[in-house]
Amino acid sequence: MVPVGPADRFDAFRALADRRGRPGDRLITSLAEARAGTADSPEVWAPDVAAGFGLPAAAALGPAGYYADLAAPHGRRHVRVCTATACFAAQAGRHLTDVERELGVPTGAASPDGETSVQAVRCLGYCYAGPAALDGDQPHAGPTLAAQLARREPPRAPGIPVADDTGDPVLLGGVVAGEPAWQVWPRTVTAGSPDEVQREVAASGLRGRGGAGFRVASKWEAAGRTPDTVVVVNGDEGDPGSFADRLLMEADPERVLEGLALACFACGARRGVVLVRSEYPRALTCVREAVERAYAAGHFGSSVHGTATALDIEVVEGAGSYVAGEETALIASLEGDRGCARPRPPYPTRRGLWDAPTVVNNVETLAAVPWIVSRGGEAYARRGVPGETGTKLVCLSERFARPGAYEVELGTSLLRIVTGLGGSLKDGAELTALQVGGPLGGFLAPDALDVPLTTADLTARGAALGHAGLVAFDQRVTPEEVLRHIWQFAAAESCGACSPCRVGSRRGLELASADTPPGEEWERLARVLAEASLCAFGRRIPPAVHSLARAYGDRLAGWSP
């Protein structure tokens, strides 16, 4: 018998779906259409959707019970309330109770007449103006959220405050300076070569901005430049506290698409996919409209700008899952499966979407590529710090005096960002802890902010760069409330693919909700989570909790490392 290695692992769902025409995102879309307006459980309507694709009921029940948008009951009026970190910090989470009281519907349910339903989500990208909610696709934000949803006050959804701190923005050129997109791609595809694009990106030292920080040129090279390669834009910006990708997709989607085109050219890919999270309905519309304009202008199609290069782009809507932002889970979701992390190897660059070589880059990463190709990789490499070059969008939450998105060079002092750009906290409030890099990034105490904004420096202090979302907590929120919030997020968003994370996150929530310090049991649980979890989600929980305990000191006894 020939042994079967990880790269030859049989996937029954893929094999069956392949025989049924690879329904993929069409299955998820059909499930979303069937879910709309019904409070019935997936067992009632999902099997019929599966039958329409020639699939067994389990093929639809799996994703229908997994993705938050499909699992939650939907009334004719469906309200999604953000319970992520920044919105939680704004009012210590009390806004959700206020909304339930105003609408007369508990979270996760629909009213008896089927008129209204309420769903808790994480996050809506209004971290700078929270708490926030979506009433259908209509955004509402601010301290009067409940009154807005009760229709006693008009909707309020301010735009994202934006500023450049570099003097020569890489990412915000179109937003703050009106620099047009599509200046690089036409001349590159007609007079350049894939090798030239690859060389400039390699020289730039650009690393992925989605959190992992992998060298972009190395990932592109690993795909092997085969014709069946697929490039996926990861627009599933799930880190609560970050709204950089939402900003770029809404305010300058053409620059993101130009970066995608250049990435496809360098990778030899003839197909690109843009995945936009469902919690960003306006971004989804903006990207779809930008793709239509790009086809009309000849940037995409069977003969791009009269050349032999063919490039087709499709836009796919997510269905609500934090872990589905991890690249293997994202690929699973695009195939119509549950968005759970898959074991590696094989890596997506070898066997990704429907077993094709697949490169996954996030929105901010690709938005930097046109500048790099235009100005040169060496010019980009001179910015930032050695080993972590370039610029980064940093997002400041609602608690700051000047919240919003700022483009800064990597290596900028976190203290300067907080006090100089952000103006410290509003209304003279006292900073008690700063979350850096997402819900499982890390926390820093107010006296520990004199640190460069780099992955290496933040990691050394128990935090993480991640998407570079900064969420401020003040004295109105207790350390115990923040701790429970972390565990609630972990328990709710664990994909369940591995026991250490699935069981451990729930046990951690039980410990955080108890009146006594966890002591040795927490240390045992932390070791299991860190060493045995399948993906970074479970492995990041213990460091995040430890960093919170360090930030608050003796106030969280028993959770310290």
Q: What is the pLDDT of residues 56-94, one digit of tens each?
A: 999 999 999 999 999 999 999 999 999 999 999 999 999
Strand partners, 301: 311
Angle between helices 536-552 and 479-493 (to 10 degrees): 180
* Exposure b/e, 456-492, CB count within 10 A at least 16 = b: ebbeebbbbbbbbbbbbbbeebebeebbbbbbbbbbe
CATH architecture assignment, domain 164-382: 3-Layer(aba) Sandwich (3.40)
Nearest to 507 by CA among 479, 523, 487: 487
Mean pLDDT of 217-237: 95
Identify the residue with better confidence: 298 or 211.
298
pLDDT value at residue 11: 67
- 77-149 adopts what CATH topology? Glutaredoxin (3.40.30)
What are the angstrom distances between the C-alpha of 545 and each of 482, 509, 529?
10, 11, 12
Assess contact for 121 and 87: CB atoms under 8 A: no
How far apart, in whole angstroms, are the C-alpha atoms of residue 13 and residue 253?
34
pLDDT value at residue 1: 34
Does the pLDDT at position 186 exceed 60?
Answer: yes
Does the pLDDT at position 457 exceed 50?
Answer: yes
Positions of CATH 3.40.50.11540 in the chain: 164-382
Whose tokens are 């992998």? That residue is 214
pLDDT value at residue 147: 98
pLDDT value at residue 433: 96
What is the rounded radius of gyration, in angstroms, for the C-alpha atoms of the chain?
Answer: 23
Nearest to 336 by CA among 62, 12, 69, 73: 62
Q: What is the CATH number of domain 385-474?
A: 3.10.20.600
* CATH 1.20.1440 applies to domain 479-556: yes
How far apart, in whole angstroms, are the C-alpha atoms of residue 543 and residue 105?
36
**C-alpha dihedral, 107 to 111 to 117 to 121, nearest 10°:** 10
Mean pLDDT of 111-122: 95
Q: What is the DSSP letter of 108?
A: T
pLDDT value at residue 324: 80
Nearest to 88 by CA among 124, 61, 64: 124
pLDDT value at residue 2: 35
pLDDT value at residue 550: 93
pLDDT tens-digit series, residues 479-507: 999 999 999 999 988 888 899 999 999 99
What does the chain come to in residues? 561
Q: How many helices (H) and strands (E) does the chain have?
A: 25, 17
pLDDT tens-digit series, residues 93-106: 999 999 999 999 99
Positions of CATH 3.40.30.10 in the chain: 77-149
Does the pLDDT at position 240 exceed 90?
Answer: no
- Residue 64 CA from chain centroid, whole number: 21
Does the pLDDT at position 525 exceed 50?
Answer: yes
Nearest to 486 by CA among 545, 547, 443: 545
pLDDT value at residue 4: 39
Positions of CATH 3.10.20.600 in the chain: 385-474
Per-residue pLDDT band for 8 (boundaries 50, 70, 90) equals low
pLDDT tens-digit series, residues 349-376: 999 999 999 999 999 999 999 999 999 9
Mean pLDDT of 392-411: 98
Mean model confidence pLDDT for the chain:
93
pLDDT value at residue 16: 62
Within 10 angstroms of residue 79's Cβ, the number of other Cβ atoms is: 21
pLDDT value at residue 558: 81
Strand order in the sheet with 469-474: 162-164, 404-409, 391-396, 469-474, 431-436, 442-444
pLDDT value at residue 25: 81
pTM for the whole structure:
0.93
How far apart, in whole angstroms, are the C-alpha atoms of residue 119 and residue 134?
10
Nearest to 322 by CA among 129, 467, 160, 531: 467
Mean pLDDT of 425-450: 93
Residue type, 435: Q
**Least confident interval from 45-54, 322-331, 381-390, 507-516:** 322-331
How far apart, in whole angstroms, are the C-alpha atoms of residue 137 and residue 149?
13
Mean pLDDT of 226-240: 91
Positions of CATH 1.20.1440 in the chain: 479-556
**Least confident interval from 92-106, 123-137, 516-530:** 516-530
